[in-house]
Structure 1
């Protein structure tokens, strides 16, 4: 055995004798034995013998009761996730010890997980060995890795300890598998002597340009009539220090610091950003600031390279864990002024767990503000949850990635899985395989009949959404385009919409891009990739007067999906990873956990992704949560009061 250090300042792993003095024991069916003592939790993870099976000239390693690493170009190996939550301000120390380690010489290399697939191109299963296969060190580096994040969960501010337990490690140069039958973890914790955050003056913070404050007063009164204490802060008040002292190197950071102060001084849990693009040709202008993530996903070639994308999670992820305390997370850990950077040689360390429930009304003028205020009030006062139309869920999908050797219809499988969690809802399936999705008219008719939820899973750009018939990558079937939206007439029956696809929620698009002919090739790309529309697909659907959705959740950048069964577990990968997983998780949280506040459902899905997947190990996992924006009211009561 050898000592190792896991991520985190106080995650020190020790090896030696057993732990004495344990007071109680719980036997858990998933192979974990948990013991408790005051301020100590000890867990014993037990594993069966690894199962080795051949796949495409490689082997896949599996163990019953575990997940599998699904990171592009990296060996597919089993792992288990264990999540424990503590009150915010808890100091946590973790020790771990693996059992007897054995070696197994393999006949073939362990299969790398296939490369991710963007939801904007034809699906291709590409198996490519990553850099790890040429290295001398074991993968993963340690038997256990831990990640501590700060977030808001079930309405409480917590520290979340995620343990990633790896019973198998791979030596690629030697083609040897290291494995153990048990791993023991001991968690020592020290609770805070008093609550770190005590304030409880307001629930909802609305941030907007000063000139829109009057138009939002009716919404403030409506929210307070339903028990949500609300405060509206104009941007000049924020920048001028009217409420709190001003910190921040630019306007976006000043807003983020203001939210931090509002949490600590007022106790707010919901933040509504009211303001979208405000013109700007050579440089974007915004009614309310935005932040771009600078994670590069390797795109280019067949698709436009994407070096940055809009990321409202920046305004939600306020804190990170440091020496037991929540501290401000500026998303620039290397201090070079480039936020949320992830490139070959530069990578910011991010928390990513939401600390407030954030949504944006991406309004471009006061008329849109008035539309949304009236729409939200109408929806929440309608008692929609007790009306027949609300109990319908419309799903729109096809064969997202249709290579002939792939038996799965990814979009249809994803929406079918989402429907499984929506007990009591009538399923309206607009699927290409059923012949029920042939044109936008099919979608428009379904929306106009009324539905509480609307789920698209396929391909997109800022101006439209489409998919394929089964095994036919040459044929595109449109689901809905922005040109169809003015004709939607479902007044009073507004669904919550989740859309899977690229760039449907890219709310920086503008007609002004048509004037950028001086940019040459890039001007043609604006047109080809749908970036010359007046507004993006998701926002147009949401702000549609007397129709459309009440809110839309989708991607501001490239969406990502998995195809086939790359990990060989018999479950389609499209529901196990990336956009497919998080879209489904939204419906699971609503349908199974009973949460009905929109921002909480959205943020819980993000939090569950962040604590279930090692998001700072894989840039596509990281981007999946960063780009998944809520365009709507985070304090919306789904189904109304």
Structure 2
């Protein structure tokens, strides 16, 4: 993170390969100017914010201003408007600096207290907590935020191009609770200086898809390699033995997971790989987990008292970071203490979190599952195109957080938003909702899925064993949607949807029946395995994907706690449940597919992650970081959504 003396702005600005983009639509067109001198180039822009307005909200006040893209939502800190601007440069560009000038700050008295941000609400089958809590900011004699702006540079993919993302976050209003003062500015001018890059990250174009697998599964994967090659997806299968043995590249890395990540880096640079399929899930292990293909755990502790770590395949996708004006390997251990993706107490790793390659995992535990997934992928890509069922959507949701003060039915709003985006492509929707009785139990879900749909979206609560939700405004009644024990009833053979699962832990693919044997850890810990659903033979999402004769072709969901938002705390008339956390990123997948034309599964998934990181800087809020880290794709990242024409 770097700071200069100001900030930025524009609706859309394209200059010498640089692109500015903002989500706001109500800001006047920004002034723009480009100056070129020698190799150094300059981009300037301006933005105007209206004078902040305050409105009463119970015991608190809310602040809003025209020109902001959202409100700061770091828990227990004041809800204040901010604006995010993202500028895209080719990799190789050198960012010389960012400076922002602004008019003289003005101040106004605050006749009360500005509302703290509400707690993010977990999809973990527990009652939602709408209590507003004031953190240390409220007793400090200082302005929050502590500066008018900040900026950061990330490295990621923009479609198929490796780029730098320069994100500038502008804070037009700052609050001092001790003096009850709001300080604000109306106009900001930004200057970005940079030197255009001369060399791309890679010019290689030998392979599109890299499959990383244990030797045990390699033979079963050969038909998939041949199928991909026949459809123009140049594929290279590499065994883990070849990775660890240095058959193609020098071995680097502290452990097997890091060795795989370095191999992916080399494959990107030397082969031009864009998609990576990791093949292999849990391989037993009682005292210590064993894996067919390595995994990485994020050690972000969100103080939920539920988990202090969780699986994150984003680790294998986030290959690069921008450090000291260079693009370097992102090891997810910026403090060098050997604890990856750490964020707890005073220890915090600063992470990039932009995908640099599109990663998906077939979490297979045996050859039978590998064979089943290979058959499903080939069947899907060769028979789906042009079928009526592929152009349909099934959404399943209810009242995720039935809080008396919150009028919104979060799950129903989310599936409706997903359906609205797909409708732009002519996709017809069926919605199962608790509010109208179309969702009354698992029989409704089993029957609907068995009819065959191209897209499937659950939005509610979950654990590794199942998914459920509430009827409107009733947190004591649970409506069971689907359990792993009911999946054998799904009969949509050959009609496999791409599935997004909104709920906690549905994609926690480390679960195992072996946890039943862990009574030696003590009764209290053993009981946790039971009520958390961690005794499931396999996770809900993976079971749905690898289901024989039905289920999904791939699933996307949370490996840990998933989070949602309640109310309308940014006062824009749109429920926050579809604008932040899990509600945003799940819907963003469908928006990216429908509006950006991302019809390769991994690209749609990875673009949704990148868009989330741009809009909600994850190093400012643990929940934003966890939202992208735990959102895993269990399926083929190179899958052609809708299949290939015959």
TM-score normalised according to structure 2 size: 0.94
- Tell me the CA shift for residue 213 of structure 1: 1.1
Deviation string for 1:336-377 (max 9, x for gaps)? 111000011100000000000000000000110000001000
Structure 2 residue 536 is the aligned partner of structure 1 residue 527: no
Equivalence for 2:614: 611
Among 436, 453, 456, the residue aligned to 2:455: 453
Name the residue aligned to 1:315.
Answer: 316
Contact persistence 1:113–1:567 (CA under 8 A):
no
> How far off is 1:551 after superposition?
0.2
Q: 1:48: how far off?
A: 0.9
- Who is 1:125 aligned against? 130
Deviation at 1:193, TM superposition (A): 2.0
Separation in structure 2 between the aligned mates of residue 135 and residue 541 of structure 1, nearest angstrom: 50
**What's the secondary structure of 2:458's corresponding residue?**
strand
State the Cα deviation string for residues 5-49 of structure 1 (Å, max 9, x = none): xx23xx53379xxxxxxx99x999623323223321111011111
Is 1:298 the equivalent of 2:299? no
Partner of 2:419, secondary structure, is helix
Q: CA deviation at 1:324?
A: 2.9
Q: Counterparts of 1:276 and 1:615 in 2: how far apart (Å)? A: 27
Gaps of 5+ in 1: 1-6, 16-22
Following superposition, the deviation at residue 628 of structure 1 comes to 0.2
| Residue of 7, 12, 18 corresponding to 2:4 | 12
Equivalent residues of 2:464, 2:536 under 8 A apart = yes
Deviation at 1:475, TM superposition (A): 0.7
d(CA) in 2 for partners of 1:404 and 1:297?
Answer: 26
Residues of 1 paired with 2:102 and 2:367: CA distance? 61
Distance 2:592 2:363 in 1: 25
SS at match of 1:433: coil
Pick closer, same or farther for the CA change 1:584–1:14 going to 2, 3 Å. closer
Task: Say yes or no: does 1:434 pair with 2:436.
Answer: yes
Shift of 1:136: 2.6
Determine whether 1:98 maps to 2:90: no
Query: In the alignment, what sits opposite 1:30?
Result: 27
1:78 aligns to 2:70 (yes or no): no
Of 569-578 and 275-284, deviating more is 569-578
Shift of 1:417: 1.2
Aligned partner of residue 512 in structure 1, secondary structure: helix
Task: Report the equivalent of 2:212.
Answer: 207
Per-residue deviation, residues 444-468 of structure 1 (Å, max 9, x unmatched): 1111111110000000000000000
State how 1:117-516 maps to structure 2 within 5 Å: 117-120=121-124, 121-300=126-305, 305-382=306-383, 384-423=384-423, 424-516=426-518
Equivalent-residue separation in structure 2 for 1:429 and 1:491 (angstroms)? 21
Change (3 A) 1:444 1:324: same
Rounded to whole Å, the distance in 2 between the matches of 1:460 and 1:385 is 32
Residue 541 in 1 paired to residue 544 in 2?
yes
8 Å contact from structure 2 (residues 332, 351) kept in 1: yes
Q: CA deviation at 1:568?
A: 3.4
Displacement, 1:183?
A: 1.0
SS of corresponding position for 1:381: helix
Q: Is the 1:89–1:324 contact (alpha carbons within 8 Å) kept by the matching residues of 2?
A: no
Distance 1:42-1:29 versus aligned 2 partners, 3 A rule: farther
Q: CA deviation at 1:261?
A: 0.7
DSSP 3-state at the match of 1:473:
coil
CA contact (8 A) 1:91 1:323 kept: no
Distance in 2, matches of 1:435 and 1:319, equals 48
Instruction: Give 3-state SS (helix, strand or coil) of 1:95's partner.
Output: strand
CA distance in 1 between partners of 2:194 and 2:107 (Å): 34
